[in-house]
Each structure stands twice: as structure tokens, then as C-alpha cells.
Structure 1
């Protein structure tokens, strides 16, 4: 690569991946909205902390207003709710034959491709554990699946190149002709993470609670059934097995998937989701609207109401607005809606 790799968003995902690229000798330029983070990166570099590896790299970063030039490859690593604004802001900086890789949570490839076109959009699924700790500091808490694919399932030179680059960070990264299956699979798992974030307990602790398993199973099932309705085959990863959350699933398979998810999350120093961190630590809005309201809209158009997902969105919004606390009382409200069959 002759031009720098432009990473738009230098937080948990972008910062972690970017640090590995820099350490391997690649030229990386970060773009981030947070000026204090940008200043720290330029002045002191980027520190990766945690049990996987601890290292420090020099870094270059700018705010969007200070970015000059055009780039053939841009990795978009912002929160899902910032996808549209970030994509529109990066358009003048993308070469005519360039492309954007979405390293995010949710179905952001839909938004990106609506703005720059499907031919300029590359999809990815990431599940590794990382947290933004503060200016110039990122926690890398646990390895997990990294998958990249063309939106149309084709095998291209740019896909091969992107996989080679991502393998610098995650040696077990793979390519797939089924990237939409991974993205929809992540939505089912993501719904479970949103549910765990209703409490202050860890992901593993909540998933291990047998009392809440029927509610959590029904929640993931809504997303799995919606994917099936669109003829998308959701893919499994890191213990999450979509087959365990279909209406006709063998209860033993469902129990096994919960046990595998608990085991996977027990290995990570990132014990709580980024959703929980947004609510409990950073006191800001989560990704609940872009991640779960888009599937709700798709479901409404297909006659699939998704009442438990809608109830979960309301509960997260209640916490964001200070109307509810992070506690098992709030998770109990989700469970009560499931028990009563009333999720309005």
C-alpha cells in the first residue's frame, strides 16, 4: 500500500486493529472526533493494554475537519449511530476506485452502501473484546472471530488483500461468501448482549442464569426467525449457535450454546459489553437504535412484530434517559414481558 491506511474511528475496534497494523510496519492515519484522543495519539502514541499483549506504538491522527487528501482504503470503525454522518464525511476523501470496510457492530453495510454504492463497500464481522479506556489508551481483552466478505459473496483481489491485512491483527481471520449471515448472526448475539447490559453483572454471569434462559432464548429467536424470513442463513461464532435459537431447536442444543457462550466470555478480560460501558461508565447513548431498530423495521415490513426486541429497546432507552437503573429489576421487566406474553 502506497497511501496510508485510513482508519476512521480510533476507539476500541479501530484503535486495537490500527495498533497492530502500525506495529507490523504499515502506514496508518487515524481519524477521530475526540480531539483529546487525537492529541494524545499524536503526542504520546497509542497504548494497547490487557492480558493479550501490552505494547505502545507511535501514531498519527487528525479530526475529520483537519483531514486532507484522498485514500483508496478506509476502515470505518465508528459506533453504529455515527455511520451515516461518518460515511458522508469520508466521501470526499475516498478515491474513485476506493472502498470502505465496515469494522462495526450492526447492519451498517446497508447504510454505507446506500451512500457510496455496494461496489465500494466491503463487509466485515468482528467479535473480539476491546474497550476505549481514555485518550491514547485501549484495552484488548480477548480474541474472537474476525470475518470479511464481499456483500455479493464474490471472491475479489481486494477481499484477499483485506484478509491479509486483518490477519496481521487476528491470525485466524477468515473470508466468507456469507458475510450477511455473520452480520445477522451477530445481531442475535448482540440482542443477548443488550439484555445482559440491563444489569451490572458480567456477560457470562447473566448468560449463566438459568432463570433468564427462556427469555433470552426467545429474544435471540426473534432475530434468527427474521433472518430466516429473508433467506439469510445466520452464521455461528464463539459459542453462539443460531440453530439453537430456532423455534424447533432441541433444548439440549440451546443449553450447549449458552454454556459455550459463557465459557468464551469467561476467557476475556472484557467482562462487560461496550453497551454496558456506554451506560454505566461513559454515560452516553448506546448503539441500540441503529443495531436493533433496523431489524424491527425490517420485521414490521415482513409481518414479523418482534415484541421482545421492541421491549428491550425501550428498556435500554429508559436507562439512557435515567428512568431505570442498571439492575436485575430491569432485566426482570424484560422477563415479565416474556412471561406475560405482553411486550408492548
Structure 2
């Protein structure tokens, strides 16, 4: 396939490199000029325990993108979705489409800009980090799921899936992409909680002192999803049914144990959220990922006090007003 990958960082860089290696015609777009220059000069390198290889590819900054494209994978941070979708829209072919390969409910944002019929949903859970210009760490495999927003199985979806199998052999098509996206929101809320500390994902989720916090966060998201008539889907040890409000505690703990086991196997020990805060010193996706949970919950009469407080804690860390430390989780525990 001929694919334009908009955002050549952790997610887009890994997927794109595999597709290039498999023979697909891939063009990268990234706003980081140094990253674009490195790709054009020396190629895009994937490193880590899964694979080590370098591919030759063309990369452009957004203002220099040439031509129109049939498929665009949007792989930018959630808070940059609207601006990126507006910029890429002129580069969509007449029958082209955009695939949201992101965290959150960005399909809604993209659909408002390019049209619902030109938007495909995607869910990914592999571990990757941008290390330096031209170099991406692929730390651990994870679920890859594709779906039309209306649940249909279309020729374009089948073709996209065939291409994605060259990246992840276990990639699947679903008729419930919203279920996966809401499932990831619940897991994402738990990941944001781990990111207010300096501990690894696995160590945080394994700490019995805060099991109640992680369970309660998952339950808040599940309440909103259920009220929104969504059937959440599980993945990689995360079982959304384990965080339904009436689920026995031992079932929730079993899912946390499964999530710990999954994360222990990855070379990516901390979340991208933690990396944004601790390493890259930049704003996170908290408003774009967790904000809609609070907003949709409020519109449906579902209270989300832990999620709202977690957003405040992340903002305080972003602003330099709060250090990253395990005791931050006590702020959430007080609300239980």
C-alpha cells in the first residue's frame, strides 16, 4: 500500500518502519525537523529486544508534504489531533481515509474535520519510545485492532488489515472499535495514575497499597462507558469486566496481576505519560484522554471524582508545582 504516516514518533515510527521493510510505499511526516533530517540522511532505525534494523525512507515536515494520499495514519499526540487533521486534509485523495492510531477518542475529532465516512478507528497497545532523531525503541509487542466506526467490514478495512499484518501478525479487525477505545481509556486512567510516581508500570500496579485506587479508576471509566452504551473490550491482560462496579474484588485483582505480568515482559518499563513528564518535560495527553471521561460522565450523570483529581495532579506535575512521587497516589486514595 501507499501510506502517509503523520507523526513518525513512537507509534508511527515503529509501524512505518515495519511497513517499509515489507515493501509498502511509506512517506513519513513529522514536525520535528531534526527527526525528519535524520530519517532522510541515515534512515529510520528500530532498536530494542524485538528487532534491530534500519530502513531507508522519505520524511517531510508538515508544510512540505507533497501530493495526495489514499491512506493516512495519524499518529500524533491526542492534543495535536485537530490541528494535524486540518493540516493533512488537503493531502487526502478523493476517496482517501484517515486512521487514528492514537490514544483516546480522537476518531470523533478527526471525523468532524474530514468526515465520518473518511475515518477509520485503530487501537494499539505495543510499547515504544522515541529515543533520538531517527531512532525508535520497540520495547514490547501488544494488541493491534482496526475497525470502521460503524462496525462494517469494508474492502478498505480488509486491505489496511492485510498491510498491518506485516507489522503485527496478530492484528485483527473488529466490529466494536469503540469498545477497544473505551477499554484503553480505563487502562489509560490507571497508567496516568502510575505516572504521578517514578516507579515502573508493573511495580505500581503490583503495589497492594494502591490496588483500590487503580480499581476505582477503572470502575469510573466503566460506569461512563456503560452509561454511553459502549461494550468495552479487553486486551493484553486488561479485562474491562474486571472493573465493572459490581465485580468481586478478587476478579479485579486478578486482572491487575495479569497487567503486571504483561508489563514485566516489556523493555518499555514506564508509560509514555511518565516519559513526557520526567524525560521530555512537556505537556501530556491528559486533557484529551481523561478530559472526555469527566465531560461525558457529567453529561450522563455519572460522577468521576478520581479521574478529575488525577487530571489536576498531572497538571500540577506539568507545571512544576508537584514532584513525581508515590505519595501522590494518596491524594486519590483519600477520595475512596
With the shorter chain as reference, the TM-score category is over 0.9
- Partner Cα distance (2:74, 2:144) in 1: 15
Output one character per residue of 1:296-331: Cα deviation in whole Å (capped at 9) or x when no partner: 111111111211000000000000000101101212
RMSD: 0.7
- Partner Cα distance (1:138, 1:207) in 2: 26
Match of 1:284 in 2: 282
Match of 1:237 in 2: 235
Alignment of 1:19-38 (within 5 A): 19-38=17-36
Alignment of 1:147-226 (within 5 A): 147-226=145-224
Match of 1:296 in 2: 294
Counterpart secondary structure, 2:327: helix
Counterpart secondary structure, 1:100: strand
- Partner Cα distance (1:68, 1:6) in 2: 10
- Partner Cα distance (1:221, 1:147) in 2: 23
Match of 1:143 among 141, 144, 150: 141
- Listed as ranges, the gaps of 5+ residues in structure 2 are none
Match of 2:107 in 1: 109
Ranges of 4+ aligned residues in structure 1 off by more than 2 Å: none
- Partner Cα distance (1:292, 1:255) in 2: 23
1:336 Cα deviation (Å)? 2.2
Q: TM-score, normalised by structure 1?
A: 0.97
Match of 1:342 in 2: none
- Partner Cα distance (1:76, 1:337) in 2: 37
Output one character per residue of 1:18-54: Cα deviation in whole Å (capped at 9) or x when no partner: 0001111111100000000000000010110100011
Match of 2:50 in 1: 52
- Partner Cα distance (2:304, 2:250) in 1: 24
- Partner Cα distance (1:176, 1:135) in 2: 34
- Partner Cα distance (2:97, 2:164) in 1: 15
Equivalenced residues, count:
336
Q: TM-score, normalised by structure 2?
A: 0.99
